[in-house]
Structure 1
Amino acid sequence: MSEIRPWRTIARRQSRQIMVGNVPVGGDAPITVQTMTNTPTEDAAATIDQIRRCEEAGADLIRVSCPTEEATAALPLIVRASNIPIVADIHFHYKRALEAADAGAACLRINPGNIGSDQRVAEVVRAAKANGCAIRIGVNAGSLEKDLLEKYGEPCPEALVESALDHIKLLQDHDFHEYKVAVKASDVFLAVAAYMGLAEAVDCPLHLGITEAGGLIGGTVKSSIGIGNLLWAGIGDTIRVSLSAEPEDEVRVGFEILKALGLRTRGVRVVSCPSCARQGFDVIRTVQALEERLSHIKTPLSLSVLGCVVNGPGEARETDIGITGGGKGKHMVYLSGVTDHHVSDADMLDHIVDLVEKKAAEIEADMSDAGQAAPKEHEVPEAAE
């Protein structure tokens, strides 16, 4: 509702841009959100079904494991069915990379130094070039090369950066430059330091993540601290939140991190209080119900849900729609920051959902009447925070 403040501005690191299928990564492109399927890739139907759920959650890219010939054999069907680019996850067998490239993968997740001879690297590069594939180099503290562990004694930021630079050189030696790089660790301090070091050494897009972060709650906290710290510093062009949870949950958490930093919006941004004895309605259950019932909204807008009048009016002034708990089962509704009408306990939930749906339709109609495209999921409207 209010103008962007200068102290909210994040100056993004200037990286060069690559294309992953039809999705730009790096440069001035929106920070993309990706996840990874956990179904057996050989089961194309189950994998496609999971991809659909991730698409609905807003995923821009999705990675699928290709450890076997049977997995890459299923890839053409999966690629044709997916509405978002597929990243094929390859580890040691270079032939899987060749098969995935021919199958239509938009990107190969592969570490060139792990697949054997220079001839094999050359073959993968040729296949990537021939099929328009990008490559994602994925350095991980848990699988550093033996020589680097001997050199440094343990995983450390310098070791991760050196590993990344070694892999990059193998691609550059074959005149391949459509790559992005990750230097992940499960330790937040290690990962952040490694990314900061790499950001100073290269100009390619960086893929952010805190690997093996944990379950939905613990992993979300770790990822938010690590990824959020880097994004706040302007580092990062694409993110994956690694959780022991459903892939679509990873996507939702990724968007919440970007929304909290004002880097990207998708759907309803909810501002709500933790609730206390002053609350005029059950804030916790109300917010849970609203988040579920409004999950289909993609148009960026804001909603405040506050249990009492202490902070409610102030928060409501900053959101498109607001509800503040009142006495005797009557609660104040704010529209565009201004008090508008009351609603009863019994009608409140349905009423707020209806208001949000109408506001989203109104925003889209206004943009259409002005001859502009409806707000994209990655755009932060000029008048929004």
Structure 2
Amino acid sequence: MRQLKREVKIGNVTIGGKNPIAVQTMLNVPVEDIEGNVAQAKRCEAAGCQILRVTCPSPADAKCIEAVKNAVNIPIVADIHFDYKAALACADVGVDKIRINPGNIGDDDRVKAVVDACQRKNIPIRIGVNGGSLEKHILAKYGAPTPEAMVESALYHVRLLEKFDFNNIVISIKNSNVPRMMEAYRQLSAVTDYPLHVGVTEAGTYQMGLLKSGMGIGGMLLEGIGDTIRVSLAAEPEKEVEAGYNILRAVGFPVAGPEVITCPTCGRTQYPCTEIANEVEKRLQGCKKSIKVAVMGCVVNGPGEAREADIGIAGGKGEAVLFIHGKPIKKLTGDNILDQFMDEIYKL
């Protein structure tokens, strides 16, 4: 059962409570390339991104934040490290949320300056704890970025913001070690009702990043923990959005769009099952129908495995049996089984 946290409004998206889990990504174009950032932001929005983060290394870079915000209709988060004045500049241009890393933002006076700017404009702050940049005294105490160390860092900065009468807060507590990250989120969720941004940081190359994020983020969601997610990949941010929705779908959350399932095939397979499944998925990109489509390799297990699909085929030599809602309807034959199948999908 999902652990309900307090609601926080980020632009036109509200997270926490019973609101849908929001999928985030982060632009990776050099910040000085404003045109490139705007173009990538538009692609992310088209891919379904719901909250978009943009780095802002210096106050002058707030102009990139402003340009991106004016170009899309999704909330923009400014990612701030080291220079608190960059956060102030982003607040001035109307950013929707500010993410600060408590390990490197500076002393309490600088944090208060950021808090005051956000308070005036009702801008939430994400406390973004990262296992790779914990405060020196916490690392000295624990000897490593343990779950307890990360939770202590997060709660210290929560209390700091609360001391300044600020509670418009989101928390993340990321680590590249999946078991450590998961335990940290468990401990944190048990002691706070602020909404949690869940992710695995520095997850690795694309393939390993998908695996680690699927296990870490998916595992947390299955435990009821998480209000917004970001899949960190060494890839274009649109791929992160796609992966985020796939994780949500895999753990059972309703996601708009089709899901294509297929079997791994075996020696019984007598038609191009994998190729057809890949092509079906490709042709259904952009489709908003929430349907499950099955492409199964043979008639031995295929019908049973596809029983919960809305529509599916189980192939044989030169033919495939069409199933709709688990019931056999007819045979598709000839060289254009794929096209025939797509026609049936579009009829749903």
Aligned residue runs from structure 1 range 178-327, under 5 A: 178-327=168-317
CA contact (8 A) 1:13 1:234 kept: yes
Structure 1 residue corresponding to 2:328, chosen from 324, 328, 339: 339
**1:349 match:** 338
Is residue 2:83 matched to residue 1:93? yes
**1:130 match:** 120
Once the two structures are superposed, residues 113-168 of structure 1 have per-residue CA deviations (whole angstroms, 9 ceiling, x without a partner) of 63333332222112212223111111011111100011111111110000000111
Q: Give the superposition deviation at 1:112.
A: 4.7
C-alpha RMSD over aligned residues? 1.5
**1:70 match:** 60
Once the two structures are superposed, residues 20-52 of structure 1 have per-residue CA deviations (whole angstroms, 9 ceiling, x without a partner) of 111111110011111111002232221122122
**Structure 2: gaps spanning 5 or more residues:** none
What is the TM-score when the length of structure 2 is the normalising length?
A: 0.96
The aligned amino acid for 2:284 is L
Q: Give the superposition deviation at 1:87.
A: 0.7
**1:12 match:** 2
- SS of the residue corresponding to residue 181 of structure 1 reads strand
Structure 1 residue corresponding to 2:43, chosen from 12, 31, 53: 53
Q: Give the superposition deviation at 1:264.
A: 3.0
CA contact (8 A) 2:125 2:168 kept: yes
**2:100 match:** 110
Sequence identity percentage: 48
Aligned residue runs from structure 1 range 139-158, under 5 A: 139-158=129-148
Name the CA shift for 1:109/1:325 in 2 (closer, same or farther; >3 Å). same
CA contact (8 A) 1:125 1:176 kept: yes
CA contact (8 A) 1:280 1:308 kept: yes
What is the TM-score when the length of structure 1 is the normalising length?
A: 0.87
- SS of the residue corresponding to residue 346 of structure 1 reads coil
| Higher alpha-carbon deviation: 310-319 or 231-240 | 310-319
- SS of the residue corresponding to residue 225 of structure 2 reads coil
- SS of the residue corresponding to residue 115 of structure 1 reads coil
CA contact (8 A) 2:174 2:200 kept: yes
Q: How many residues align?
A: 348
Q: Give the superposition deviation at 1:259.
A: 0.5
Q: Distance in 1 between matches of 2:131 and 2:272?
A: 45
Name the CA shift for 1:316/1:91 in 2 (closer, same or farther; >3 Å). same
Structure 1 residue corresponding to 2:347, chosen from 328, 351, 358: 358
The aligned amino acid for 2:291 is L
CA contact (8 A) 1:111 1:167 kept: no
Q: Distance in 1 between matches of 2:77 and 2:109?
A: 23
CA contact (8 A) 2:59 2:90 kept: no
